[in-house]
Structure 1
Amino acid sequence: MTPRSRVVGGVDAERGEFPWQVSLHMKDVGHACGASLINENWLVTAAHCVKDRFDGRPSMPSTWEAFLGLKTQKESSKEVQRRFLKQVIPHPNYNYDTYDNDIALMELERPVIYSDFIKPICLPAPQHIFEVGKQVYITGWGALREGAATILQKAEVRIINQTVCNTLMGGEITNQMLCAGVLQGGVDACQGDSGGPLSSKEGKRMFLAGVVSWGEGCARKNRPGIYTRVTKFLGWIKEKTGV
């Protein structure tokens, strides 16, 4: 069971194609996780990105910087906005061993300014069902086989039946998790992309179906990627953010 860190089997994303994609940089490390912009003040990411396994405390907001509007890492174009963080809120029931409830919120120190390259992703309704077989998108920088991708990568995967996924993954899939991938292998979100979005297109809008969480190996046959199921956490998100 490993956190995810790269998009494998993907292609370069166009600038502004996934304008809610955030790159979270850890001080003195650089790009460490992804996140999704849900309004001008708040990001959604994975709890395992921000909570220390050994002392159980969330990382200090000062540990992180959020970059929005990026296409390539290390660029400094006028489209890019950098923000410091005001607070980091991992889900109180996050489980380090099973990755259950692997979701966290981050409040920006000041709001972002929306543009063609920086826009929020929609949150789904609580009753929204992402149908089995539906095509969804994974995005991130992470690492392509070896080393980090400099250009934002995107890949298409499909929602996988929960029961099938639970069988494939040895009974480790909870109701708070969502499975997506290509069962023959070759496409996946693996470690750097942790916390990033699983995006689903519905009409002309894109919805946040999942948060990149964990998997076994990378792009292996019959080993789908596992995502935090966002519809299970809408009440908690609203309570903390008002979104």
Structure 2
Amino acid sequence: MPRLSGEPLLVLTAAHCFKFGDEQKHVKVQIDDGQGREKKVINFRLHPKYNITAKKDKGVLEFYDYDVALIQLEEYVQISSSVRPICIPCTQETSDALQLVGVSTCKQQEELLLKNDIERVSFLTKRTESLVVEKDAHVKLGGLRDNCIKHALTAPNITATDPKVAVTDNFLCTGGLDPFRDHLACKGDSGGAVFKDYEQRTIQVALVSWGTKNLCQLRSVNVESDQTSRDFHINLFRVVDFLKEILGDDTQNVYSTLEFLKD
């Protein structure tokens, strides 16, 4: 998230991390930056289209489309090797990181970062107060996506017969054993960055939203998928308007804005 010296941090997370009626005083953000773990929150905003009960009558008890939110912290955060900003899609800053010369577009970035039917991504899992591990998974795109998302129908509280009712085009799908055995996200990983490393820069392409199975009861460091377990992640390329409205808002002077691409 954007930050320069002397500016507060904005944290990108999942909307379902909040409860109905939450106020700023109810929200806690813990960042181990050496200046006190718990940070005060000035404001937070959920995507306006997020509605967990929107498809309850269609066989999806909990619907996680547009599961994205932004938190604005009151206090500064000390940037270090373990606490640092991340590039997000459809900004000039990310085009620079991707070494796209001249006038670039959002579509160019997406085609570069998510161009293959199988794309390796990473996410972080916190195992203890001091242990955070990086995990790998593989997004199934193109002709492989339908076979990936069909396993959404095995999730508890889903009685729909069409997986696309629960898994819209706003989600990336990971998990399973083919062609690689993926790691799985656990409860508590929600809202975390799903990212790719490109030319020594880290680009966030999605955020962890929900999954079909809880295989993390033992809290193993490396929780791996089985044949039908799947994780679904909000594709940031599909929620750019929400990100731009806040992170590209140059009418405020509280934090530095990002330069979003026109297309």
Matches of residues 202-213 of structure 1 in structure 2 within 5 Å?
202-213=198-209
Matches of residues 115-154 of structure 1 in structure 2 within 5 Å?
115-125=80-90, 126-127=106-107, 128-129=110-111, 130=114, 131-141=116-126, 150-154=130-134
1:108 corresponds to: 73
Give me the whole-angstrom Cα distance separating, in 2, the residues matched to 1:62 and 1:79: 20
Give me the whole-angstrom Cα distance separating, in 2, the residues matched to 1:79 and 1:221: 43
Matches of residues 91-240 of structure 1 in structure 2 within 5 Å?
91-96=47-52, 97-125=62-90, 126-127=106-107, 128-129=110-111, 130=114, 131-141=116-126, 150-161=130-141, 162-170=145-153, 171=163, 172-183=166-177, 187-218=183-214, 219-240=225-246
5+ unaligned residues in a row in structure 1: which ranges?
1-36, 71-77, 143-147
Q: Deviations over 1:42-65 (max 9, x none)?
A: 11100000143xxxx4x2121223
Q: Deviations over 1:1-39 (max 9, x none)?
A: xxxxxxxxxxxxxxxxxxxxxxxxxxxxxxxxxxxx454
Cα 1:67–1:38 change in 2 (3 A) is farther
Tell whether the 8 Å contact from 1:85 to 1:107 is kept in structure 2 after alignment.
Answer: yes
* Counterpart residue identity of residue 238, structure 1: K
Give me the whole-angstrom Cα distance separating, in 2, the residues matched to 1:119 and 1:228: 21
1:41 corresponds to: 9
Tell whether the 8 Å contact from 1:50 to 1:104 is kept in structure 2 after alignment.
Answer: no
Q: Residue 109 of structure 1: SS of its match in structure 2?
A: strand
Task: Calculate the aligned-residue CA RMSD, in Å.
Answer: 2.3
Report deviation, 1:80: 6.2
Cα 1:183–1:169 change in 2 (3 A) is farther
Question: Which stretch shifts more, 172-181 or 185-194?
Answer: 185-194
Q: Deviations over 1:205-225 (max 9, x none)?
A: 111111111011133323221
Give me the whole-angstrom Cα distance separating, in 2, the residues matched to 1:104 and 1:141: 20
1:68 corresponds to: 31
Larger radius of gyration: 2
Give me the whole-angstrom Cα distance separating, in 1, the residues matched to 2:9 and 2:125: 21
Give me the whole-angstrom Cα distance separating, in 2, the residues matched to 1:150 and 1:156: 20
* Counterpart residue identity of residue 62, structure 1: K
Give me the whole-angstrom Cα distance separating, in 2, the residues matched to 1:114 and 1:239: 25
Q: Deviations over 1:128-167 (max 9, x none)?
A: 142332211111216xxxxx67511221111113222222
5+ unaligned residues in a row in structure 2: which ranges?
53-61, 91-105, 154-162, 215-224, 249-257, 259-263
Cα 1:202–1:173 change in 2 (3 A) is same
Higher percent of residues as helix? 2
Give me the whole-angstrom Cα distance separating, in 2, the residues matched to 1:122 and 1:182: 28
Q: Residue 50 of structure 2: SS of its match in structure 1?
A: coil
2:41 corresponds to: 85
Higher percent of residues as strand? 1
Report deviation, 1:182: 4.2
